[in-house]
Structure 1
């Protein structure tokens, strides 16, 4: 059903007009941010432009965010459920977070370029030899950004439940760097989650266009849970299990 709703050819003329206006706004924003990004990079100072770009993209896409729970304090590793491409600009807007992505994204030149601007850490899931290097990248990202987000499901769900968390995705975080908090955060799209979610046979571009075509805003609650503590942080497996348990409890409320 979601795939059927997603086909661009089913969009009305008005919907295509909204898509065109939003794409034009995003393209103009990107054109303005790129030279500023490289200017800040040459000056070797903290670069706010990737986060400003992503946060503004979420506004252009019509995302209305409500934040609940304790916001991250200090360097924090965020464990989030994954529903749609909107998750990334929305979380960046709220937290200024960088993200952990699988190394397959690095095979797409334009996408890799955009990801690296936002200090994305690419994880090679099946390359044990690269874990030490990935650990170092994670620590550097946290030192610079103070927030780093991973989606432990490893893919998107329909937003009404959670998929299993893959502890293997947390290999680069074991042992956990000293002074780093681990905090679950639920991305809750409410009763319209299934209409936002990117699942099934739907192409990523179709999901992107379908969301931009909406007349109504996308209402998203970013619900921060209490940071994990004690035995919950003993290993990547306990982190994955405890993080999922916290998000499942929040989603059921």
Structure 2
């Protein structure tokens, strides 16, 4: 609650599975009223069940929101303001994974990744800002360690996450000047439906990769190892709630020691050599 006893309202995108679902439940447990949004509300069953199991179903409401549809964004925010009269925080969590390389995927691969992971963040954030200014609220955006370190065969995904981080890092001081705090939350490997939802046919991808086949096989082997020791969605969501509740939230937060170590390679790598050495090993060089 805020100082006058009013319940704080947070809107979270992409809550049907994974980190978004876990964040919605965790925020409700922390006392927030959660507007849990998703593109297809018919897929809200898992969230509803989790909220009921946690005893917070009365603090989680599901609304439709497609972050790639400007009218959908505007309609959802209008509904939230009509129902609650305020918005105290936005969590941009909706995202889409894209695997491939530019020679085969071309610009469409990049447009697909940018639409949700970048333009969706811009659209929802821009629409929410007037309401967050009114409450001295905050914007929390789930990016990725892939928004800091470019990763093989994730060219489009990393480009979109880099773009999101550049947008938010630039916005942060401007937003702060009107009382809104901005934070990016960077998970590493997370065991969630996000990975499974990509439905990748790895053998077919390797077969179609031509001269990139050996590098793709090496990358897949490395990535499977990383996800075998992945963080849970619940653990990653805890970092989001920490930021929501922090009196002075930082701009950049990683969700695990592994993510912190990974990102630190880039942030202290002035000429880029350390990152190139690390990721070259992933593709057998």
After TM superposition, the score normalised by the length of structure 2 is 0.34
More helix by share: 2
The structure whose RCO (Cα within 8 Å, separation 6+) is larger is: 1
Larger Rg: 2
After TM superposition, the score normalised by the length of structure 1 is 0.38
